[in-house]
Structure 1
Amino acid sequence: MPRILVVYASMTGNTEEMAEAIAEGAKEAGAEVVAKEAFDASAAELNDYEGIIIGAYTWGDGDLPDEFTDFYEEMDTLDLSGKKAAVFGSGDTSYPIYCGAVDTIEMKLRKLGADIAGESIKFEYNPTETEKEQGRSLGRRVASLAAAG
């Protein structure tokens, strides 16, 4: 049974809502899932899981949320080679850079050697039912890939 860690930063609950949908999908695929907010997680925990799914809302002009920065910076010491990973997050299209935090996190995961399991999910404000189904699908995909090694 693959172990999946879902780490997220959510200010209004929108990103948390998607994290729950993603975790649900991974569980449906038979994974053991732990979901936690970034300020309750340590980047070193990523080493203990076969699958990593990280989400954050985008702050201002494409920035990572303040409560996510420590976790993000701690990731620099990791080698995530062989880990299956995915990224998701919420944003606001009225800003010049839509969901920039999602792109920043995905680049970091790639740099650290993680295998990106699918296209990142970006959504505006709260996720629609269709977007939540995309999240469940992404969770199932990461779990399946993590189980296959």
Structure 2
Amino acid sequence: MKVFIGYVSLSGNTEKMAVIIKNRMKAAGCKVYMERLDTVEVDILKDFDLAFIGLYTWNKEDLPYEANEFNKEIEQVDFQGVKVAFFGAGDLTHTKPCAAINILSDRMKEYGFHVFEKILKIHQESSADHALIWGNKRKKWRFLSRNLVLSIQKYQKSAYL
């Protein structure tokens, strides 16, 4: 299975999460390609079986500026059925925690992406190492790649650490 991991990171937490996901997907036998979102064209997602998109939330409720061009390019190509999962860091004490993820995921749904409801969100003041600890304590990771490819919607809620 070919997996794409795209991310933008300000504090380094989202990038650390991307690296953890990359290592876990490689350990599961996947071919993994990881890039910053501001360096890729959105149509590359059509070449992958699964994409993980990681964002931080800018100014409490906005997309990071590095993701703006990626966001604009979504409407240019037919992405019907392309599978995407989201992760990110933000302030979970806000009324709309990790709002950038919600903004981009809603837009991607609008243009035909199959966006998984399960989202990994960590608090901005937490270390991304908490995501690794969380992932190692759960057997869900073993089944994550298989379930995502088979479109099994087993885990529906966001995971807050």
Give the TM-score normalised by the residue count of structure 1. Answer: 0.84
Shift of 1:110: 1.7
Following superposition, the deviation at residue 116 of structure 1 comes to 2.8
CA distance in 1, matches of 2:107, 2:138: 21
> For 1:81 and 1:48, how far apart are their aligned partners in 2?
13
Matches of 1:100 and 1:134, distance apart in 2: 27
Tell me what 2:121 maps to. Answer: 122
Give identity over the alignment, percent: 27
1:70 paired residue number: 69
Q: Is the 8 A contact 2:92 2:122 kept in 1?
A: no
Question: With CA pairs under 8 Å and 6+ residues apart, which has the higher RCO, 1 or 2?
Answer: 1
Greater shift in the superposed pair: 40-49 or 78-87 = 78-87
Matched, 1:91 2:94: no
Partner in structure 2 of residue 24 of structure 1: 23
Q: CA RMSD in A?
A: 2.6
Q: Which runs of 5+ in 1 are unaligned?
A: none
Gaps of 5+ in 2: 152-161
TM-score, with normalisation over the residues of structure 2? 0.78
- Provide Cα deviations, 1:79-124, integer angstroms capped at 9, x if missing partner: 2222221001100134332100111122122222222345111111
Paired residues of 2:135 and 2:141 also in contact (CA < 8 A): no
Aligned residues: 147
Q: Which has the larger share of helix?
A: 1
